[in-house]
Amino acid sequence: MAATHHNMDMGDMGNMDGMDMPHSTGMHMVFRNSMNTPLYSDSWEPNTTGAYAGTIIFLIILGVVFRLLLAGKAITEERWLDTEMKRRYVVVQGKIPVAEQVSTDSLGKKMTLTENGVEEEVIVVQKKTTHLRPWRMSVDPVRAVLDTCIAGVSYLLMLAVMTMNVGYFLAVLAGTFVGSLLVGRFYSAEH
């Protein structure tokens, strides 16, 4: 009896995949060119050509803002790293100086570099471990706000594209193009 009850539960769950929608009238994901496609809510439904144009302009600007945020974050991260690398260090009594550490370190390698026919002997020091940057009150909350803004704008752009409206889709692409044209050199594709 228990096995039969378990099978019935599994069978009932199998019927939920259609969510009471007929299988023949499934959603078709095709692009539309309707001017009155709602954006983000039913109250934002352009009913005139001017309202549709305004929505398109908004999406272009939102795409540019997204690229500006990415560039701003990359520039800010670079500045934070530069600041961290320029921090002063205190010399501790009894500590071996870096020059002596490098000369005795097995990871330090001597090599010859030539520039304009002049040879110089230099030492290349390899990084031993990954340096974890410390949490800082002046950095990490700002980073979190930037990441949250970037995520929010990217989700809004994604939702605009998911309306499957051709104009909205092209506006997001145009905003990406203009934003990348303006500030693309400040961030890499990995960011």
What's the predicted TM-score (pTM) here? 0.64
Supply 137's token pair: 């009150």
CB 71, CB 183: distance < 8 Å: yes
Task: Tokens 């309306």: give the residue.
Answer: 163
Each residue's pLDDT tens digit, 105-149: 555 555 545 555 444 455 555 555 566 788 889 899 999 999 999
CB 167, CB 57: distance < 8 Å: no
Higher-pLDDT residue of 101, 54: 54
CB 174, CB 93: distance < 8 Å: no
For residue 19, name the pLDDT band (cuts at 50, 70, 90).
very low
Each residue's pLDDT tens digit, 42-92: 999 999 999 999 999 999 999 999 999 999 999 999 898 888 777 655 555
Domain ranges within the chain, ordered by starting residue: 48-84+158-191
